[in-house]
Structure 1
């Protein structure tokens, strides 16, 4: 354990990774999403794909906890349950694809997914119909594939919910609850597969403090009446992080 902890603290670029965790937690706190899309393009520059994902999931499992009671009150548990079932069934296939990627391919996929999501949201390219239960299961399935291969299960859920007539607080709550539960399922599956490494887990533990702090700060500054300003801020931060992960700068 001491050797693994020392290894975690000696990770090259740890300061930048910790700063990315702080910013990612802040975005998650006021927008309800964005942790992976801010954190992974930066972390993927110094960590292996699996190490980056494990660190993300471990640190993120604690980050939203202070905000979960409010999210449970504001959200829709029935829809979250449907999303979780679809995600859980599809996640193993995403993890199979992850094993085939090298670090550069991983960073490119993460950055492209993040930039695509921001582009769709800015241009208003969203589903406009009614979200029926079978469709919600399907959204969860697509999220499971993306979550396994790139650690970003949020885009399908965000795109569909942004098109719904739900108020900003409910959308934020649903995405926050879903992403928190995804983290728990993701870690459980890696543990069953024997893919969890103690160094990776301890690195995630060291990043819990900045991501929890960011979540608290983000939640404290969140005001539903300023929804548009928060979305714009989240889009700008996600875009900057995604661009930093592309290979043009390395």
Structure 2
């Protein structure tokens, strides 16, 4: 398995094929299930791009996916909760990123794959937090998401496990999560820029990857049929499991 390289475009044809396939597959899964881009892209791409290269590519390409839905989400979002989530995230995101600079790339790969498998188990079992989620806890959820987003590139698990227990309409929860993750991308880019981790090559690769990712989103949405929801969800779970297992450093 190849290791990270300072020149992100300095990949073998096989490496580039896997990276583009990961962006495309992540888009397809998100298109018909509504989630899964990071859970698929990070395990598959990190062996080739390294932790920061994979994070930058994911963040930049993922900015374009929710653009068509932002206006609608803004009309129904719980704005005070959104602020609490983002403030909490901004506090611990740099801590997660700092920790990421202190660990070996193999540790990041283990963290990403194991967290993806854990999240998959939670989704399959339908586990949710059923306790009270107050205002302070919302900020804490944002902080946990920021830390996990910094150290493993996966801010979603904390939000899905805990914030979805808020006693608010489902469309409000979805809009708040969508806008939080959109804001997270910009926070992450800001901190990575301050850490001087973003290069022109990495940014350009992220923009290029947005193309197969958007095509995947479109294809996944086109393939989706409500009557086959269980089949699509099972397919998404299988794709996430395979990507997570492939991303483990056990294979070299």
Instruction: Report the 3-state secondary structure (helix = DSSP H, G, I; strand = E; otherwise coil) of the residue aligned with 2:118.
Output: helix
The TM-score, its normalising length taken from structure 1, stands at 0.86
Q: Which string of whole-angstrom CA distances, capped at 9 and with x for unpartnered residues, describes residues 88-133 of structure 1?
A: 1111100111101222111111000111111122223320123221
Once residues 198 and 52 of structure 1 are traced to their aligned partners in structure 2, the CA distance between those partners, rounded to angstroms, is: 14
For residue 33 of structure 1, what is the aligned residue in structure 2? 35
1:107 to 97, 106, 109: 109
* 1:135 counterpart (134, 137, 159): 137
Residue pair 2:8, 2:53 contacting (<8 A) in 1 also: no
Alpha-carbon distance between aligned partners in 1 of 2:229 and 2:200, rounded to the nearest angstrom: 39
**CA shift digits 1:16-44 (9 cap, x unpaired):** 11111011123233433321111000001
Task: Determine if the alignment matches structure 1 residue 11 to structure 2 residue 17.
Answer: no
Distance across 2 between alignment mates of 1:98 and 1:153: 14
Point out where structure 1 has 5 or more consecutive residues left out of the alignment. 1-6
Which residue in 1 is equivalent to 2:237?
Answer: 235
Bigger Cα displacement from structure 2, 222-231 vs 142-151: 222-231
Deviates more, 1:138-147 or 1:163-172: 163-172
Superposition CA RMSD, Å: 2.4
Does the aligned pair in 1 maintain the 2:9–2:201 contact within 8 Å? Answer: no
Determine which of 20, 23, 26 is the counterpart of 2:22. Answer: 20
Note the C-alpha offset of 1:81.
2.1
Which residue does 1:181 correspond to in 2? Answer: 183
Instruction: Name the CA distance, whole Å, in 1 between partners of 2:31 and 2:171.
Output: 12
Correspondence 1:116-195 to 2 at 5 A: 116-164=118-166, 169-195=171-197
CA distance in 1, matches of 2:51, 2:173: 29
SS in 2 for 1:146: helix
| 8 Å contact kept, 2:84–2:142 | yes
**Paired residue for 2:207?**
205
Q: CA deviation at 1:163?
A: 4.2
Q: Hey, what does 1:3 align to over in structure 2?
A: none
SS, match of residue 84 in structure 1: helix
What pairs up with 1:58-137 in 2 under 5 angstroms?
58-73=60-75, 75-137=77-139
Q: 2: CA distance between counterparts of 1:74 and 1:229?
A: 30
8 A Cα contact 1:44 1:52, kept in partner: yes
Unaligned runs of 5+ in 2: 1-6
CA distance in 2, matches of 1:207, 1:231: 24
